[in-house]
């Protein structure tokens, strides 16, 4: 594969993906806009929290990153106050000479509207900004039309010093919607730490695990139907963990006669997530829309056999029958067949899990993710194009 220097001798791009840690001579001060801060429960906050932890672990004097809330964890009506607070702190940092780059995490709807304000403030203050696109439904949210909102979103992307996306499909999408941003797009997939808990699995009972927001977009009705079809098969149990439509889904599972086989712990924190993954054998995520789901990467990190759908950038990390099983969204029969195969075939589970773990260690470890983001920040601060030599 072709490797290009991205402005620092140790910063390499392979197939559009930034790898390795940059060599540098000056500290870059970064303000990071994330919805509720690094202690938030949302997917973006979790990723930024992990990034913050990894930057602290790596140490070094090249980056000073501050992670600040742009929405807050309370009612959405108060989000304007957090957004304004972020802009005021950005102004203060600019006046003090303590900000070189603003890193803006962006998703659909309200997130985009708030981030357009933050991006415009950064532009007016002369601060380069990086857009980091996470939204699972951005392809339907950002319509290709001549509307005022579509034009404003395009401007936000085209004025960004860098646009970080999570996979090839999102690179192509942004380049088509905002051609002026095409040369500044870099792929940095989500990543997770290597699990600290040893993987033990479910023992004699195969443990199927779902992690995420419980609802239609994640394919929960189809998952319940598939598990119902599998009811005659012995030696399996399932955990459906997450917030959202928990009670309605629990009632539906009872109606299907699955109350004794499926547990619903609700939203669980990082410690419990780690415990569930260590005790699972299969990670299932039958979504209709994703960007690049962290739960799949967490499952891969532990060597679980993954069953999911080819949506968003999933196919960048899961190859069907090699590192997981891919089923069409909404196809209950295919989902049932995939789960049944994995329950009944121990060797297949082991082979897919081992391959998934190998992909994680090669491409999806948190240390590589942090190094890639460092490289993005250094390039943005220096006004360099991706892959340019210093």
Query: CB atoms < 10 A from the CB of 102, how many?
Result: 29
Residue 58 to residue 67: CA distance in whole angstroms:
17
Closest by alpha carbon to 334, among 310, 313, 370, 300?
Answer: 310
Pair (64, 151) in one structural domain: yes
- Please answer whether residues 292 and 317 qualify as being in contact, where contact means their C-beta atoms are separated by less than 8 angstroms: yes
Pair (223, 333) in one structural domain: yes
Residue 274: predicted pLDDT: 96
Beta strand 12-14 pairing with 17-19 = antiparallel
Residue 369: predicted pLDDT: 97
Closest by alpha carbon to 295, among 47, 10, 3?
Answer: 47
Pair (160, 211) in one structural domain: no
As a whole number of Å, the end-to-end CA separation of the chain is 22
Residue 46 to residue 180: CA distance in whole angstroms:
30
Pair (369, 347) in one structural domain: no
Pair (251, 339) in one structural domain: yes
Residue 387 to residue 390: CA distance in whole angstroms:
9
User: What backbone phi and psi angles, to 5 degrees, belong to 216?
Assistant: -65, -40
Q: Is residue 388 part of a domain?
A: no
Pair (85, 162) in one structural domain: yes
Average pLDDT along the chain, 390 residues, taken 10 residues at a time: 35 46 71 88 88 91 94 90 97 97 97 98 97 96 92 97 98 98 98 96 97 97 98 96 97 97 95 97 98 97 98 98 98 98 98 98 96 96 64
Closest by alpha carbon to 94, among 123, 51, 53, 59?
Answer: 123
Q: What residues contact 159, with CB distance under 8 A and at least 6 apart? A: 119, 123, 129
Q: Is residue 197 part of a domain?
A: no
Alpha-carbon distances of 9 from 21, 24, 199, rounded to whole Å:
9, 9, 38
Q: How far does CA 68 lie from the centroid of its chain?
A: 19
Q: What residues contact 358, with CB distance under 8 A and at least 6 apart? A: 323
Pair (297, 316) in one structural domain: yes
What is the DSSP secondary structure assignment for residue 17, as one 8-state letter?
A: E
Q: Is residue 289 part of a domain?
A: yes
Pair (258, 142) in one structural domain: no
Query: Which runs of E-coded beta strand occur in 128-232?
Result: 129-133, 162-165, 185-187, 206-211
Pair (116, 265) in one structural domain: no
Residue 385: predicted pLDDT: 56
Q: Which domain holds residue 304?
A: 206-363
- Please answer whether residues 293 and 287 qualify as being in contact, where contact means their C-beta atoms are separated by less than 8 angstroms: yes
HSE-CB for 53 with a 13 A CA cutoff: 13
Pair (16, 130) in one structural domain: yes
Q: Is residue 223 part of a domain?
A: yes
Residue 16: predicted pLDDT: 39
Q: Is residue 89 part of a domain?
A: yes
- Please answer whether residues 199 and 224 qualify as being in contact, where contact means their C-beta atoms are separated by less than 8 angstroms: no
Task: For the sheet with 262-266, list strands across it.
Answer: 262-266, 236-241, 206-211, 282-285, 305-308, 325-326
Closest by alpha carbon to 191, among 23, 308, 66, 18?
Answer: 18
Q: What residues contact 139, with CB distance under 8 A and at least 6 apart? A: 173
- Please answer whether residues 194 and 272 qualify as being in contact, where contact means their C-beta atoms are separated by less than 8 angstroms: no
* Six token digits for residue 285: 């995520």
β-partners of residue 266 are 241
Pair (24, 124) in one structural domain: yes
Residue labelled with tokens 């002369």: 126
Q: Is residue 201 part of a domain?
A: no
What is the DSSP secondary structure assignment for residue 324, as one 8-state letter?
A: B
Pair (110, 224) in one structural domain: no
Q: Is residue 200 part of a domain?
A: no
- Please answer whether residues 311 and 60 qualify as being in contact, where contact means their C-beta atoms are separated by less than 8 angstroms: no
CATH of the domain at 157: 3.40.50.2000
Q: Is residue 199 part of a domain?
A: no
Q: How many domains does the chain divide into?
A: 2
- Please answer whether residues 304 and 283 qualify as being in contact, where contact means their C-beta atoms are separated by less than 8 angstroms: yes
């Amino acid at each position: 594969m072709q490797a290009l220097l991205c402005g620092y001798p140790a910063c390499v791009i392979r197939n559009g993906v930034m790898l390795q840690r940059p060599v540098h001579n000056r500290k870059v001060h970064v303000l990071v806009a994330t919805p509720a801060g690094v202690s938030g429960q949302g997917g973006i906050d979790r990723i930024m929290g992990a990034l913050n932890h990894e930057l602290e672990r790596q140490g070094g004097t090249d980056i000073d990153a501050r992670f600040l809330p742009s929405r807050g964890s309370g009612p959405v009506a108060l989000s304007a106050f957090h957004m304004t607070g972020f802009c005021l702190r950005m102004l203060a940092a600019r006046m003090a000479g303590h900000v070189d780059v603003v890193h803006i995490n962006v998703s659909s709807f309200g997130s985009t509207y708030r981030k357009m304000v933050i991006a415009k403030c950064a532009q007016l203050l002369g601060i380069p900004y990086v857009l980091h696109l996470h939204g699972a439904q951005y392809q339907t949210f950002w319509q290709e039309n001549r509307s005022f909102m579509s034009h404003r979103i395009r401007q936000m992307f085209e004025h960004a010093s860098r646009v970080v996306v999570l996979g090839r499909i999102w690179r192509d999408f942004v380049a088509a919607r905002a051609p002026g941003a095409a040369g500044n797009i870099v792929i940095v997939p989500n990543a997770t730490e290597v699990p600290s808990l040893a993987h033990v699995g479910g023992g004699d009972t195969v443990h199927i695990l779902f992690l995420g927001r419980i609802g239609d977009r994640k394919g929960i009705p189809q998952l319940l139907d598939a598990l119902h079809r599998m009811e005659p098969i012995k030696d399996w149990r399932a955990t459906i963990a997450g917030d959202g439509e928990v009670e309605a889904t629990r009632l539906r599972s009872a109606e299907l006669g699955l109350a004794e086989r499926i547990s619903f712990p609700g939203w669980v924190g990082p410690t419990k997530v780690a415990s569930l993954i260590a005790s699972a054998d299969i990670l299932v995520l039958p979504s209709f829309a994703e960007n690049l789901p962290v739960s799949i990467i967490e499952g891969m990190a532990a060597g679980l056999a993954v069953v999911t759908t080819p949506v968003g950038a999933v196919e960048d990390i899961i190859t069907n029958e090699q590192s997981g099983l891919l089923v069409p969204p909404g196809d209950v029969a295919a989902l049932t067949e995939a789960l049944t195969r994995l329950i009944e075939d121990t060797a297949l589970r082991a082979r897919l899990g081992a391959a998934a773990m190998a992909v994680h260690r090669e491409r999806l470890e948190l240390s590589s993710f942090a190094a890639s983001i460092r490289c993005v920040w250094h390039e943005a601060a220096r006004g360099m194009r991706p892959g340019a030599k210093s």
